[in-house]
Amino acid sequence: MSEKQPETTKSEADTTTPAAAPAAPETDERGSSVPPQDNYDDDNADSLYGDDGASSTASLTASILNYRTVHGRTYHSSQGDAEYWYVFGNPPRRPGIHGRRRLLTFFSSHHVLTLLLDGELCRAPISDNVQKVLDVGTGTGLWAIDFGDKYPTAEVIGTDLSPIQPGWVPPNVMFQIDDCTQEWTFEANSFDFVHMRWLFGSIKDWDELYAQAYRALKPGGWIESHEASVIFHSDDGSVNDKTAMGKFGQFFIDGGKKMGRSMTIVEDGIQRKGIEAAGFVNIHEEDIKSPFGDWPKDPKMKEIGSFQRLATSNDTAGSMHYMGNLLGWSPEEVIVYAANLRREFRSPHIHAYYMQKIVWAQKPE
């Protein structure tokens, strides 16, 4: 098959730029101007980061289920040197009230990503008779479950470091404990479609990740990589370097450097570079301007922004404790900064968005 020129498209939130917002209250680097009455929601939520996976496709063992706890939030058990950073944490298998909130966070995030794709599950032109599909970093398995429902004749495998997927799944869907940063144990040329979503901060060697996907795909099979930026923007100056949201991206970028994991996948074009280096052809790329909050006038974008705010706000402090520790912040400093973030998340004067990028490509026939 001859290689086609890469295509690039762009999707945006409501194109009507809101009026300039009032200047946000000035804060110091960690947002110390937060009012003391802004309560910190220190529930027993799970967190975002962990270490796991000395081997690939491991059995579900007690050591993997043995989570370690920091500030009351669970992290993956420590095995090997794979490091995973989760934006919204891991919900327990039998959740109480806080676990149900964590599940709501995952459901909201999946809903956002599905809405952004106009109700579709992927951009790659998947055949109706697709046979075997791999979802790398499946998390709670929502994408894999939906894909299995839509394509009942396909075998869908979701992999992750944590056994947090539901027990009720379509008969054609299965989940495996797997570390995608280790050598893959899947048979070469065995998948029709390899899907991966929101792995930013989790992968040290993206080129190797895409190379392993290339080996696992059948000739003519497709890969799709969907990643997000951690940097908030605004077109009216309501997000700036004096706001907590304006500092959010650098906080995670600096923490990612301490981990040896990049948080600037979108900004650095890592997906396309790695996919090209692996040997894929027919490369397509889509940039998505994703709103945060209910400020857009367009109903669809307002819904997307509202659900994204819900997902991110659910455990703001919990999502930053590990990074704060890496950067030398005290728990109190993290609490104050998180409270500032929640206040800005609720503000009608802040018109924030962040960028997402989807890259899909084909293994040559």
Give the model confidence (pLDDT) of 271-308 as tens digits: 999 999 999 999 999 999 999 999 999 999 999 999 89
Per-residue confidence (pLDDT) for residue 28, from 0 to 100: 44
Per-residue confidence (pLDDT) for residue 175, from 0 to 100: 94
pLDDT exceeds cutoff 50 at 24: no
Per-residue confidence (pLDDT) for residue 107, from 0 to 100: 78
Q: Which one is predicted more confidently, 89 or 299?
A: 299
Q: Which one is predicted more confidently, 109 or 78?
A: 109
Both tokens assigned to 259: 């981990």
Q: Contact 340/27 with Cβ under 8 angstroms?
A: yes
Average pLDDT value for residue range 317-336: 87
pLDDT exceeds cutoff 80 at 161: yes
Per-residue confidence (pLDDT) for residue 103, from 0 to 100: 66
Average pLDDT value for residue range 353-364: 98
User: Mean pLDDT in the chain?
Assistant: 79
pLDDT exceeds cutoff 60 at 351: yes
pLDDT band at 49 (very low <50, low <70, confident <90, very high): very low
pLDDT exceeds cutoff 60 at 52: no
Which domains, ranges and CATH numbers included, belong to the chain?
7-362 (3.40.50.150)
